[in-house]
Amino acid sequence: MKICVLGAGAMGCLYGGCLSLIGHDVTLVGGRSIPVIREKGLKMNTAWTGPVVIYPKACYADELEGEFEILILLTKTLQSRDAMDSVRHILNKKMTVISLQNGLGNKELLQEYVSTEQIMLGMTLYPSDLIAPGEIKSTFADIGALVDAEGPLTERTKMISAEMDKAGIKHIIGKGAWEFIWEKIIFNATANPLCAILGISSEMLSPIGGYDLLYQLADEGVAIANASGIAISRESMRKRLFNVLEMQKPHAPSMLVDMTSGRLTEVDFINGGLSREGKRLGIPTPMNDIIIQLVHLKENSRGREYAPH
- Write the pLDDT tens digit of every residue in 151-169: 889 999 999 999 999 999 9
Q: Enter the CATH code of domain 181-301.
A: 1.10.1040.10
Q: Enter the CATH code of domain 2-174.
A: 3.40.50.720
Q: What are the sequence ranges of the domains in the chain?
A: 2-174, 181-301
Yes or no: say if 172 and 80 are a contact pair by the CB < 8 Å rule.
no
Yes or no: say if 237 and 186 are a contact pair by the CB < 8 Å rule.
yes
The low-confidence residues of the chain, meaning pLDDT below 70, are 249
The pLDDT value recorded for residue 175 is: 80
Look up the pTM and report it: 0.87
The pLDDT value recorded for residue 26 is: 99
Could you tell me how far CA 228 lies from the centroid of its own chain?
A: 21
The pLDDT value recorded for residue 251 is: 78
d(CA 154, CA 140): 29
d(CA 39, CA 184): 35
Residue 49's closest CA among 144, 125, 140, 142? 140
The pLDDT value recorded for residue 141 is: 85
Are 2-174 and 181-301 equal in CATH topology?
Answer: no
